[in-house]
Amino acid sequence: MDKRLFFPSRIDEEGMYQLFVTEVVNPGDFSKVATEYDPKIAALIKGIVPSPSYTYVLVNALGASEFWGSNVNGDSFPERGLGHEGNGYGYKTFELYARPFPHHRNKSDEFAFGKVMASVYNTRMHRVELLLQLDVKRARIVGAGYVINRILKGELPDVSMGARVPFDVCSICGPPIETLWELPVQEILRRAYLPNNNPQKFNGIAKRFSDYCEHLKGCIGKIWHDGRIVTAVNMYPKFFDISFVFIGADSTAKVLRKVATAGQPFFMPSAMLAEQFGVYKGQEKRANIGKVAELIKDIPAKDVQVIRGTLSKMDSLTCCEPDINKNTLDNLSSQFPLKTILDSLGYGGVLVKPREFQRMVLVSKGYKDVADVMDSNNVCFDPPARDELPAPTNSSLIPSFDSSILESIKQLLPQRSFFGPALNKRVVVLNIKKVAPPLTKTASSDVPDQYKHILDGFSKMYAQYRSDLIKVAHLESISRRNPYLLGALGVETSDELWKLAAVGVDAKKVPWQALLAIVPLTYLYAAHLKRAGIKNNEELNVIQKFITNNPSFTSATLFNVSKAALRI
């Protein structure tokens, strides 16, 4: 059974770095923190000669479940198996079989861009520690340059491991692990698949997902009524790859520190951390959130015309928006993580269309051939309804912005961005010339069978993306550190991004403060989604509630604007 284990470098709910993340140092400064690490790792690091050709990172791969518990995917690794030294299973298999890959592209060594120099089991910390050597030139060739860039900037990319196990053991209905250690693997599997009436049969053991018990299928990660946690116990893990990704799900694995670069140590300033985590001018910002929320909640009596006018022209507005070129989508998807692409486009006010989203996901996962076939057959998932979006996820608060992504579609910004003069001009055109929306084919019963099983997954992913797009709230802080963004959008200050024309409304009769957030929020709510399965008046109420319930969006992007508007 092959497994994919995710381990993030996230911040916790209080905005603090999780365990083991320390300051970035070079080998010469390593002695002051070397006691945290296994002596073998410490000795190797001290012997590294900094080179511009290589970047070295120390990764806390994962910890023994007796001390660290399971990850949120419900996998646990007993110390006896994880700490085993041998080529069949345990921590040494990282060194023997695993290589660094970008985004799980581990089907061929041609995508590898480094090696595992050492893998040790730290008996004091009860964890696996890896020293990786990343080849800078090779990373650029295989499309993993973003990994090097983020590490050199002092960021901590998530890591993901591929593991192969002969079977999983349910922590609830499986036999005691101590009993299983005394038996050969083949005997365990033989007894696991005996008839139910055989007294020798082992329950709760599966060598494939389809054989999982009811606990692992439906309750993994939950606390059972007797206080035990439902986990899949991995007794004999054999690790075959380590990938750098930007999603994750574990509390112990990190890229711990950049060990050496071209001889220059890197220390991330606390001010930079504060700004990246959105805590700049904390007291002032908190004080204004209430005032902005007050403004937004005061809008509904005046904004119905704005929302109704925007909704009525939404189809015409979106049908006039040109598609992002396929080659551009493919190039971006092979160079950057999907999250960075979506975030960067979002900061430019570009909302990705379903067909574009589908292609980027497929290409980023290495399935360009599938993307081509689906495009040539005009197959695309059904977008979710406007009233069916999930709650935003609580993912990383670190803004993910790369100006080169916006540069690649700069010529499309006037036709795609929902900010400032871009949307302004499109609205004016719509008021002068009525444009009928084109007929498009979406996923339906006539879609080939081989695609049906993945289309629903795309729809759910797109729904989550649309919900998380509210994180464009970081735009105000992003734009202050990235003047390019404002220039690309044709404005000089972040205030101007929100001075939008009212669609079908006499602006003189509606307070300009009300127009600042309503039009783009209505666009975010409605564009490229199916109409809500409710009456028009009910949908108006939904949008008003949507706007009212997202004061954080407005508080961040309209921080300076609200000062002027409210005279504070």
The pLDDT tens digits of the residues spanning 97-120 come to: 998 887 656 666 788 899 999 999
Cβ contact 138:92 at 8 Å: no
Number of domains comprising the chain: 3
pTM above 0.85, yes or no: no
Query: For the residues 65-89, what does the mean pLDDT come to?
Result: 88
- Same-domain check for residues 505 and 376: yes
| pLDDT per residue as tens digits for the range 355-377 | 999 999 989 888 888 888 888 88
Query: Does 326 have pLDDT greater than 80?
Result: yes
215 and 248 within one domain: no
Percent share of the chain, pLDDT over 90: 19
Span between the terminal Cα atoms of the chain, in Å: 61
Does the pLDDT at position 514 exceed 70?
A: no
> What distances in angstroms separate CA 324 from CA 19, 46, 161, one per listed residue?
41, 48, 33
Amino acid code (one letter) for 256:
L
Together in a domain, 408 and 438: yes
- CA-CA distance, 93 to 106, in Å (whole number)? 16
The residue type at 364: S
Question: Tell me, what's the pLDDT at 234?
Answer: 92
Does residue 163 register a pLDDT over 70? Answer: yes
216 and 347 part of one domain = no
pLDDT over threshold 60, residue 386: yes
| Residue predicted with more confidence, 221 or 424 | 221
Q: How many residues does the chain have?
A: 568
User: Within 10 Å of residue 383's Cβ, how many Cβ atoms?
Assistant: 22
Residues 518 and 437 in one domain: yes
Q: 3-state class of 432 per DSSP? A: helix
Instruction: State the residue range of the domain holding 82.
Output: 2-165+236-268
Rounded mean pLDDT of the chain? 68
Considering the domain architecture, whether residues 212 and 285 belong to the same structural domain is answered as no
List 241's β-bridge partners, or say none: 162
7 touches 248 (CB < 8 A): yes
Q: From CA 147, how far away is CA 358, in angstroms rounded?
A: 23
**148 and 293 co-located in one domain:** no
Tell me: pLDDT of 193 over 80: yes
Same domain, 437 and 515: yes
Average pLDDT (558-565) is 30
Backbone φ and ψ for 6, nearest 5 degrees, come out as -100, 140
User: CA-to-CA distance for 308 and 103, rounded, in angstroms?
Assistant: 43
CA angle 84, 85, 87 (to 5 degrees): 110
Residue 555 pLDDT level (bands cut at 50, 70, 90):
very low
* Nearest residue to 289 (alpha-carbon basis) of 74, 40, 568, 53: 568
Flag whether pLDDT at 177 surpasses 80: yes
More confident residue, 78 or 2: 78
- Do 186 and 333 belong together in one domain? no
Q: Are residues 78 and 61 in the same domain?
A: yes
Is there a single domain that holds both residue 112 and residue 153? Answer: yes
Cβ contact 385:532 at 8 Å: yes
For residue 512, pLDDT beyond 50: no
Same domain membership, residue 130 and residue 32: yes
